[in-house]
Structure formats: structure tokens, C-alpha cells
Amino acid sequence: MNGERVAFVILCLIFVGLPAAAFGYQHARTAGAGVRVVDLEARLPGVGGWEPEVLRLKAGEPVRLRIHSPDVLHSFAIGRTEVGPVDVVPGQLTEIEFSIDEPGTYTFYCTRWCSTDHWRMRGTLEVVAADGSIPLSSMEPAPYISLGIELDEGRGQPEGQVPAPALAPSAARGAELALSPPPISIADTPAGIFQQLRVSYPGRSDGDLWAVVAHAWQQKARASELVLGENLYSRDCAACHGLDGRGDGIMARDLPEEPRDWTDAERLMGASDALLHGKIVRGGMGTGMPGWGDIYTDAEAWALTDFVRFFGFRP
């Protein structure tokens, strides 16, 4: 073989072999994955968000998502499931493999604050049953609906003329007092329980009675739930509501309505757990507060409710 032929072969390797090898290797990786491979682009919500916005799988079918971000750090998770979150580092392909057995409609979302519109970065995952149907969500309606609580009315004003606690009441102090508060339901407000206690223990100071209220709520919440609630709060809420609940988070500046200051006792004490929970799962229509009902499991939503409650109480 003469030199010119050798040169020609080398040249073919570069102009044909190199591209063929690159695309072929990528194709082989996809085809040889053994599972269905789906590409998902994670863009800033202002320039497209998830692409595609709707994913469709068969129930129980394992799938590998290959997620790519062209701009900033995002993250991927599927609401009300164990899938994710995984970080999506710009320019680095993130692969996640999973299967979902329960047919239905799910929401996948970004868990990393990526712009003021971060919470808009949600997509729909349809898990199709064996018979080809996609059952409607089997979620039970949130309790605020059956209780008839109007989320947008009154904005959680205290019931009647209740003197709000000056300082956040201490649950520990309430425990020491060893009084017996009435049983608490999710429709009760701290202010309501306080009034009942006032009737039962007329001789006690307001401070003591608020401490008992705090203790009563602490009895209700488990420590592990408070930790879960804190993690969710830190991840999803703190950017607007502020790490300490004052409503002064960095993202609050662009909201149509300023978030509530939860350290303001007068407001929080007038709100029942069902109302707080309802606001979390439904969102605040028009205020910029997103709804989390499609994302949190029941346990998560209640854990977050309990955590938020403790902006008004001390342990």
C-alpha cells in the first residue's frame, strides 16, 4: 500500500470514522441501555421550562430519564413519589432510572431555585394503566374543603377579641404547668383553644394559658415530622417566606403580594391547621404562592403545616 492510500484511509477515519464513532457510541448507549430512554431538557421557566412538558409511561415500566440543563442548576423530582430529587448540573447529563407502579397523573418539578419563576417549572407525568387508561387522581379532597373553611376570607384573623401572646409561647413552660387542654382537631385555632382554656382556668395568666396552647400543639406534632417539615420549608418555602418565617425572603421582592409574617402571632394564632394545610396544598390564588398538593404526600403536607405552626411557638 503506498503512502497516498495510507493517508487517504487516515483521512476517512477522521471525516467519516470520527463522527460515526461518536454518534454510533451514543446510539449504542441508548439502544443498549435495556430500558426505555427518554431525554428531558430542563430550561429556565422563562425560556421554556421542561421540554417535553408531558411525559407518558406505562405502569411498572422502567424508564431512564436523561436530563440536561443548558443554563443554571436545576433539579428533578416527581411529586408524591420517592423519585428524586436529583441535581441537574448545567451541561452534564443527569441520568435517573425509575418505574412507577400506580397508574395516574403525577407532577414532576424542579427543587432548586432557578429564578423567580422557579415554581412554575413543573411538568406532567402520565402513568398509563395496562388497559390504556389514565385514572384520575385518587387523592382525597383536602380537609379545608369538607370543613367549609374559606381560605381567602378573613386571612386568618383571630376569633373574637383574644390578646395575642407578646412573646412566642414556650411549649416547655406549658408542659410544666400540667393543665389539661381540650382535645385539638385540625379545625381548631390556637386562639379558640386559648379562649376555652380561659373559661376552664379563670385564675391563670394569659402567658400561662398560651404556654399550655403551645404545649398542646407540640404534643400533636412528632419531632421527626418537624424535621421533615423543616427540610421541606428550607427547600421550597424559605426563598420567599424567609428562613425564619418573616416573609422577607429574597424572592419575595417580585411577588404580587408580600408573604405573611408568621412571627406575627395575631395572625398565626387565628389560623387552624386545616387552613394552613389548605393554603399549602391549594396555594394562594393570585398571591404568587404556588400550590403543593400535587407535590407533597399527605405526610409531607402535614409535617410542613406543623413546622410552620412552630414559627408562633417555642419548643
Partner 1 sequence: MARAVVERGGRRIELTHLLWFRRAIRGRWIQWLVAIFMLAGFVLAILAGLFGTPVGSRNFGVIFVWIVWWAALIALLVPVTGRLWCSVCPLPLPGEWLQRRALIRVRPGRRLHTLGLKWPRTLRNIWLQNGVFLGVALFSAVILTHPRVTALVMGGYALAAILLSLLFERRVFCRFVCPVGGFIGLYSMVAPLELRVKNPAVCRAHKTKDCCTGNENGYGCPWMLYPGKLERNTYCGLCGECVRTCPLDNVAINLRTPGADLAPRVGERRLDEAYKGLIMLTSALLYSAVFLGPWAGVKEAAYNVFTLPWLGYAIGFLVANLLVVPGLLLGAVALGRRLGRTGDQPLRQSFVEYAYALVPLGLAAWVAFSLSFVLINLSYAWPLLSDPFGWGWDLFGTATMPWTPYFSGLVPTLQVAVLLAGLVVAVNVVFKIGSTHAARVRAALPVAGFCSLVTGGFLWLYLG
Partner 2 sequence: MAPNPSHLAFVGTLVLALALGALAAPAGAEDGSDRVVHITARSFAFDPEIVRVNRGDRVVIELESVDATHGIFLDGYELSAKAEPGHPAQLVFAADKTGSFRFRCSVACGNLHPFMIGQLKVGRNLPLQRALVALAVVTVGAVWFYGTRSGRKGRAPD
Residues engaged in binding partner 1 (CB under 8 A) = 2-4, 7-8, 10-11, 14-15, 18-19, 22, 25-26, 29, 66, 68-71, 90-93, 95
Q: Which is nearer to partner 1, 29 or 222 (CB)?
A: 29
Q: Which is nearer to partner 1, 25 or 155 (CB)?
A: 25
- Cβ at position 99, least distance to partner 2 in Å: 30
Question: What are the residues facing 135 on neighbouring strands?
Answer: none
Cα–Cα distance for residue pair 74/111, rounded to 1 Å: 7
Residues contacting residue 191 through CB under 8 Å, at least 6 positions apart = 158, 159, 160, 162, 164, 269, 270
Cα–Cα distance for residue pair 41/54, rounded to 1 Å: 12
- By CB under 8 A, what part of segment 242-281 binds partner 2? 243, 249-251
Residue 14: name its binding partner from partner 2, partner 1, none (Cβ under 5 to 8 Å by kind). Answer: partner 1
Residues contacting residue 70 through CB under 8 Å, at least 6 positions apart = 41, 43, 90, 91
Residue 29: name its binding partner from partner 2, partner 1, none (Cβ under 5 to 8 Å by kind). Answer: partner 1
- By CB under 8 A, what part of segment 223-242 binds partner 2? 234, 238-240
Q: Per-residue contact track with partner 2, 26 to 45, x per CB under 8 A?
A: ------------------x-
Q: Which is nearer to partner 1, 30 or 157 (CB)?
A: 30
Strands across the sheet containing 122-128? 54-58, 122-128, 104-109, 74-78, 86-88
DSSP class per residue in 227-253: HHHHHHIIIIIHHHH-TTSSS--GGGG
89 interacts with partner 2 by CB under 8 A: yes
Half-sphere exposure of 263 (CA within 13 A, CB side): 10
Residue 68: name its binding partner from partner 2, partner 1, none (Cβ under 5 to 8 Å by kind). Answer: partner 1
- Cβ at position 112, least distance to partner 2 in Å: 6
Handedness of CA 196, 202, 204, 205 (dihedral sign): positive
Number of Cβ atoms within 10 Å of the Cβ of 284: 19
Residue 250: name its binding partner from partner 1, partner 2, none (Cβ under 5 to 8 Å by kind). Answer: partner 2
Q: Per-residue contact track with partner 2, 117 to 136, x per CB under 8 A?
A: -x------------------
Which CA distances in Å does 272 have to 16, 57, 246? 69, 39, 19
- Cβ at position 117, least distance to partner 1 in Å: 20
Which residues in this chain contact partner 2 in the complex, by CB under 8 A? 44, 71-73, 89-91, 112-116, 118, 234, 238-240, 243, 249-251
